[in-house]
Amino acid sequence: MPDHLHVLLLGTSEQSDTKAAMDAFKYKSGWWFYRNRPDISWQKDYWDHVVRSYEGWEAQARYIAANPCRAGLAPNVFAWPYTGCIGHKLEEVLLDAFW
């Protein structure tokens, strides 16, 4: 989305700290913005939600992927060029979430 970012983090162990991961992401990317794009900065805080196992990550992934479609910025979830995935193939994640 042009003015905000959705991130779905999945810890890989009991010791995973998704808040620390998000804080590190904001710090490092904020520093990059400061040096390379001083006209862009993150807001101070962020809204977070812990996805419970009964909720399923798929519903969250569908919401995130469909956001540009709801805003009229992309005709389908595969067309938005700024959707990405680290550690898994994006197409497989989207197909798992939608079908």
Number of domains in the chain: 1
Higher pLDDT, 3 or 98: 98
The overall pTM is greater than 0.85:
no
**Helix, coil or strand: residue 88:** coil
Q: Which domain holds residue 56?
A: 18-98
- Is the residue at 41 inside a domain? yes
- Is the residue at 25 inside a domain? yes
For residue range 24-34, list pLDDT tens digits in order: 999 999 999 99
Among residues 98, 95, 93, the alpha carbon closest in space to that of 10 is found at: 93
- pLDDT at residue 86, as a whole number: 87
- Is the residue at 4 inside a domain? no
Burial class (CB in 10 A: 0-12, 13-18, 19+), 77: buried
- Is the residue at 88 inside a domain? yes
- pLDDT at residue 2, as a whole number: 66
Percent of the chain surpassing pLDDT 70: 98
